[in-house]
Amino acid sequence: RREQLSPEKLAQNICQVDDVDAQMSLMVQLFEFSESEQRLRDLLVKLFQEVFSEFFPESVILPFGSSVNGFSVSGCDLDLFLDLEKTKNFQASAKTTDKPLAEEEATEMESRSEDSILSDIDLVTATVPEILDLVATVLQKCVPGVHHVQVVSTARRPVVKFCHKESGLRGDISINNKLALCNTRFLQFCTEADERVRPLVYAVRYWAKQQGLAGNLFGGGPLLNNYALTLLVFFFLQTRSPPVLPTVAQLKDLSDDGELTVVDGWDCTFPKDPASLQPSGNTESCCSLLAEFFRVFESYNFASGVISLRESRSLPLSDFLLSDAGQKFKMGPVNLQDPFELSHNVAANVNEKTALRLQRSCQDAAKYCRSLQYQRKSSKGKNWGLVRLFQPGSPQAAERQVILLPLMPATQSLGSHSELHPSRDFPQLWFRRVCAGVSFILQHVLKCSCSENSQGLGDDRESLSSDPEEEEQLNTRTEQLSVGSKRPPDVEDAELGSPPAKKPRTECSLPEAESVTWDCTAWHRVWLGRRRVRRQISSPETDPKRTADPLELEGKVSEAISQQERQTRPVDPLFGFTVCAMIRDGGSGEHDPQVSLNFTPHPEQGAVFQDFFHFLQGFLPRMVEQYLTTKPSDRH
């Protein structure tokens, strides 16, 4: 038995080399099978093949998954597919009595079916669990050195589990999983298409395991599995500019007619030989690709689209849901389409909590990757590079809740403002606008009370801008902004029984520093049942003029929900929280800066704050975008 590599041992080893790229390739060498482990697996497969051939004539046993897809890790499970197609044919022809067999053929069949248990079962009509029971019996009784045999028929792909006594190797046998053979070949193909694929996937898989985000829970559990993680890395590599990997649709176009493969009705065609691909024009190092992977996914909206490796883009939900594949697709907080079985979400088992942790772990990792400790070897013998990335997340990180917003709206419908570019021109101006938007939405759209914490706010304009021209433009915009942000006074405040809200001190505060904090109180569960209330409110009978401004409409929705709630419970604060907004620079200048909003619930706020925060993750970015793209003069 080979010892599994401990995190300490791994750290010791990878601290020795000179840079992160070298750490990554060393990691692959340390994890992948040794020659002896490879031999052991080959021998086991041979042994299974011999035994199964006895009982299921002409059956073929084929390994798939990490034993053969290029991402082996010492001790990983042995995934086997038992192909009984030919056995079915064999059984069918053995039964055909009206077709006389050649004498030789007949004797052969007789002698083979002596040992065969096929007389007990009709493979064509038997159910998968019935066949698996038989496979389990064969394993238990006839394969030497195998124990703990167990049929798991409840999984999406039912299997027989087993363990090889001497080596401790665990494995699964499935019989209806031909697609897995195709996707295994696809993973293998991609590892051979570019040499950066393996080190990256190993690093991401190990990182995710250390953060408790991934586990080998095929068929159950709320964590990502290694297959899904690998596809996420592939997608990321497809979306680099220039791409490191081609899209699956491009691969199909590159295939010869003879390579056409259709499994269970799904097109699984891609070329056999990765050498036929043009080498990628992308020259990014593994070190920077890994950092970029975290940067991309720290703010990725997994729920709003479906990640497609066929097209290397996120398919908008509205279109996708109408497609054939979309109708069967199991939507969840992470939507990752299988590259071949297009109606299958490979991350369908992932729950909200895991999705949130994935995002937070990516945020922490992205932040760390920007530090020198990641990029440079420590001269003082400290942990550096991948080592610190692989340390399980800190408890404080788990408390923090972050929403990232673009510093400038994606839709550039800003009229005369649109020539501005946030990374070159006035980041502070845009930051102020975003903050004004956030404050407006929390107070007027979601009916929270917010007071701005003056801490960290300076009056020192100089610190923001030293260029007189910029100063002037900034002032003009600021004026426009303050004019624009005069929303109607909060009617609710005048009503009896309304929250004893401190009058919002800032209608739309204009922060003049690089961070601003609000202390907020939420009074009503305004995130519950919004869709229904919105439908009622925006119907032609109740709103003949049809409220055109989405922010106004959303404000009315919150107001209606608050009123309903007031009838059933006293108006006490639900919970308190603080929000701290900061500008995050976009790294090495290639990326636009962002605004990070750090939410901290007051102590012991529990689940209700979590619900609110989940809702905000989707709602706030949309509303801020809306706020920013409405010209100030269009707002009343």
Contact residues for ligand ATP, defined by CB under 6 A: 64-66, 69, 73, 76-77, 79, 180, 183-184, 216, 218, 225-228, 338, 344, 346
Residue 332, contacted partner among Mg ion, ligand ATP, none, CB below 5-8 A by kind: none
Rank residues 216 and 600 by Cβ distance to ligand ATP and give the closer one.
Answer: 216
- For tokens 């032609």, the residue is 540
Provide, rounded to whole angstroms, the least separation between the CB of residue 442 and ligand ATP.
39
Question: Residues 82, 83, 85, 86: is their CA dihedral positive or negative?
Answer: negative
Provide, rounded to whole angstroms, the least separation between the CB of residue 23 and Mg ion.
25
Verify binding: residue 65, Mg ion, rule CB under 5 A. Answer: yes
Q: What is the spatial distance between Cα 636 and Cα 632, in angstroms, rounded to a whole number?
A: 8
β-strands 170-174, 78-83 pairing: parallel
Distances (CA, A) of 484 to 412, 421, 505, 635: 18, 21, 17, 6
Residue 207, contacted partner among ligand ATP, Mg ion, none, CB below 5-8 A by kind: none
Provide, rounded to whole angstroms, the least separation between the CB of residue 325 and ligand ATP.
14
Residue 27, contacted partner among Mg ion, ligand ATP, none, CB below 5-8 A by kind: none
The torsion defined by the Cα of 372, 375, 376 and 381, in degrees rounded to 10, comes to 80
Tell me which residue has its CB nearest to ligand ATP: 65
Question: Which residues lie below 8 Å from residue 122, measured CB to CB, with a gap of 6+?
Answer: 91
- For tokens 């945020």, the residue is 363
Provide, rounded to whole angstroms, the least separation between the CB of residue 344 and ligand ATP.
6
Q: What is the spatial distance between Cα 496 and Cα 489, in angstroms, rounded to a whole number?
A: 16
Q: Which range in 6-14, 31-39, 52-60, 74-82 contacts Mg ion by CB under 5 A?
A: 74-82
DSSP state letters, 613-626: HHHHHHHHHHHHHH
Q: What is the spatial distance between Cα 370 and Cα 406, in angstroms, rounded to a whole number?
A: 19
3-state class of 228 per DSSP? helix
Provide, rounded to whole angstroms, the least separation between the CB of residue 164 and Mg ion.
14
Rank residues 66 and 269 by Cβ distance to Mg ion and give the closer one.
Answer: 66
Provide, rounded to whole angstroms, the least separation between the CB of residue 476 and ligand ATP.
55
* Tokens representing residue 174 in the block: 């499935």
Binding mask 445-484 for Mg ion (x = CB under 5 A): ----------------------------------------
Total interface residues for Mg ion by CB under 5 A: 4
Rank residues 81 and 207 by Cβ distance to Mg ion and give the closer one.
Answer: 81
Near Mg ion by CB under 5 A: residue from 66, 261, 269, 443: 66
Tell me which residue has its CB nearest to Mg ion: 65
Verify binding: residue 183, Mg ion, rule CB under 5 A. Answer: no
Task: Decide: residue 385, CB within 10 A, 0-12 exposed, 13-18 middle, 19+ buried.
Answer: buried
* Tokens representing residue 558 in the block: 């919150």
Residue 204, contacted partner among Mg ion, ligand ATP, none, CB below 5-8 A by kind: none
Provide, rounded to whole angstroms, the least separation between the CB of residue 69 and Mg ion.
9
Rank residues 63 and 484 by Cβ distance to ligand ATP and give the closer one.
Answer: 63
Q: What is the spatial distance between Cα 409 and Cα 568, in angstroms, rounded to a whole number?
A: 39
Helix, strand, coil % (nearest 5) of the chain?
50, 15, 40
Q: Which range in 59-67, 100-108, 429-437, 602-610 contacts Mg ion by CB under 5 A?
A: 59-67
* Tokens representing residue 464 in the block: 């923001």
Verify binding: residue 77, Mg ion, rule CB under 5 A. Answer: yes
Rank residues 66 and 509 by Cβ distance to ligand ATP and give the closer one.
Answer: 66
Verify binding: residue 492, Mg ion, rule CB under 5 A. Answer: no
Question: Residues 241, 242, 244, 246: is their CA dihedral positive or negative?
Answer: positive
3-state class of 554 per DSSP? helix
Provide, rounded to whole angstroms, the least separation between the CB of residue 574 and ligand ATP.
38
The interaxial angle of helices 352-369 and 286-298, nearest 10 deg, is: 140
Rank residues 220 and 500 by Cβ distance to Mg ion and give the closer one.
Answer: 220
Q: Summarize as ranges the residues that interact with Mg ion (CB under 5 A).
A: 65-66, 77, 79
